[in-house]
């Protein structure tokens, strides 16, 4: 099949013809830089994961996915009105005699509901509230939680429950990973952004003045339980922010999911009980699949989830984490990445327009009042995703397919940033 004057063109043509069939696969083994034996191991691991997914939780309609990691497998549940199940889930999967709930002040009522569920299951629990917002994601706050756990004589077999948004999940997860050299923990996200992104995959961290998430670890939860009903009380701006990560999953890996976001925007944004829950569950499953395929971002798969994050993180850090919510920054970042994709020839102007229109439908920002390109570039180059001083860009090769590019000229970045200004 490769007998051609231009074998590379032939390969690309065949791939384009077959991509719709490839997209139906339950698992993809990325063979780049792998030896034959390593490819075989990945195939066996895929078989193991898929077998687990079809047996242990057969009749669980709230199950979004099973995440497979080097330390084991864990389920992710997404449903409506399932918070009351927290205690019995911990009793069944973790067997912890005591629970410590780390939450933020904005979800006080949900945290109390979780505590009642734990107590009803015979698990004594304690509550620690941190101030809402990114400013709580620091080593100083972590030190306060360590002290609280020490005062309560926490033990390694006790469980930490992270309940709230991504800040709480990251903070409590880092504490769980390091307190007593590791305690089990459970993620109970109450924001859309945390359900879609931060609660899945085991990335736990705190910020430093020099950048976001610079002190952290990979530490997987025992399970993730997302109750969509908690989103009803979420401030509109935070709910809107969360759709950025969901739409991103469609843009990078699932064209049909993105098209569904385009078509069903009114039902989804109004949290239609069936449609919105299903879309959240489908988006969560994409993130879970990527994490299973590349737990620690060593195989070039998980980095695709960073679409929009290079510019997004720079916007957050240069504004002191006070101007943008994370999803808002990622939305603008995705538009910047789309403009770069157009400049390098991997994305059409029509695709850029479709992405922009979709983000606007969900009330997400796509422009900036102004931008200091030099300051932004400095922030991007200090990001942990750089390699050898080069920025590892995630760009779209058409809607539904992402790829990495380490060779984007700085002029293209400056040009893309200038196009974001209105």
Q: What is the CATH number of the domain that holds 341?
A: 1.20.1090.10
Q: What is the mean pLDDT of residues 58-72?
A: 85
Length of the chain equals 422
Domain identity same for 118 and 258: no
pLDDT at residue 385, as a whole number:
67
User: Residue 211 pLDDT > 70, yes or no?
Assistant: yes
The number of domains in the chain is 3
Hey, which residues are catalytic here? 181, 203, 245, 287, 297, 302, 306, 309, 313, 326
Q: Quote the domain boundaries for residue 20.
A: 7-50
pLDDT at residue 53, as a whole number:
53
Domain membership of residue 90 (yes or no) is: yes
pLDDT at residue 48, as a whole number:
72
Domain identity same for 36 and 90: no
Domain identity same for 312 and 222: no
Domain identity same for 219 and 80: yes
> pLDDT (tens digit, 9 = 90+) per residue, 119-135?
999 999 999 999 998 89
pLDDT at residue 23, as a whole number:
64
User: Residue 268 pLDDT > 80, yes or no?
Assistant: yes
Question: What does the alpha-carbon distance between residue 296 and residue 161 come to, in Å, rounded to a whole number?
Answer: 23
Backbone angles phi, psi at 20, to 5 degrees: -60, -35
> pLDDT (tens digit, 9 = 90+) per residue, 82-140?
999 999 999 999 989 999 999 999 999 999 999 999 999 999 999 999 999 889 999 99
More confident residue, 28 or 187: 187
Q: Which residue among 212, 234, 256 closes a domain? A: 234
Domain identity same for 395 and 290: yes
């Amino acid at each position: 099949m490769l007998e051609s004057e231009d074998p590379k063109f032939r390969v690309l043509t065949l791939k384009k013809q077959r991509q719709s069939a490839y997209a139906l696969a339950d698992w993809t083994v990325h063979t780049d830089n792998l030896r034959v034996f390593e490819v075989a191991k990945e195939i066996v691991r895929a078989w193991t994961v898929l077998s687990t997914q079809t047996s242990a939780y057969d009749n669980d309609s709230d199950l979004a996915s099973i995440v497979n990691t080097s330390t084991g497998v864990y389920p992710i549940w997404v449903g409506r009105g399932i918070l009351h199940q927290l205690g019995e889930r911990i009793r069944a999967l973790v067997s912890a005699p005591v629970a410590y709930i780390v939450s933020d002040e904005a979800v006080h009522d949900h945290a109390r509901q979780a505590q009642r569920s734990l107590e009803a299951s015979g698990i004594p629990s304690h509550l620690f509230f941190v101030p809402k917002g990114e400013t709580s994601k620091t080593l100083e706050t972590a030190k306060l939680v360590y002290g609280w756990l020490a005062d309560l004589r926490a033990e390694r077999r006790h469980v930490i429950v992270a309940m709230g948004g991504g800040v709480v999940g990251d903070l409590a997860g880092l504490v769980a990973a390091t307190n007593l050299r590791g305690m089990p923990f459970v993620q109970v996200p109450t924001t859309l952004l945390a359900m879609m992104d931060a609660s899945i995959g085991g990335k736990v961290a705190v910020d430093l003045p020099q950048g976001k998430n610079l002190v952290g670890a990979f530490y997987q939860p025992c399970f993730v339980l997302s109750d969509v009903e908690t989103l009803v009380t979420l401030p509109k701006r935070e709910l809107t922010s969360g759709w950025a990560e969901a739409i991103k999953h469609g843009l990078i890996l699932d064209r049909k999911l993105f098209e569904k976001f385009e078509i069903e925007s009114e039902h989804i944004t109004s949290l239609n009980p069936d449609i919105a829950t299903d879309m959240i569950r489908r988006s969560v499953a994409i993130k879970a699949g990527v994490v299973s395929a590349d737990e620690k971002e060593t195989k070039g798969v998980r980095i695709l989830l960073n679409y929009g994050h290079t510019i997004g993180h720079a916007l957050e850090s240069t504004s002191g984490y006070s101007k943008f919510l994370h999803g808002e920054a990622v939305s603008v970042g995705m538009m910047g990445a789309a403009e770069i994709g157009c400049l390098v020839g991997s994305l059409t102007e029509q695709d850029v327009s479709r992405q922009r229109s979709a983000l606007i439908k969900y009330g997400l920002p796509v422009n900036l009042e102004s931008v200091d390109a030099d300051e932004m570039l400095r922030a991007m180059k200090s990001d942990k995703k750089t390699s050898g001083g080069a920025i590892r860009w995630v760009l779209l090769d058409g809607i539904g397919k992402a790829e990495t590019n380490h060779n984007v000229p700085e002029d293209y970045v400056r040009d893309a940033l200038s196009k974001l200004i209105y």
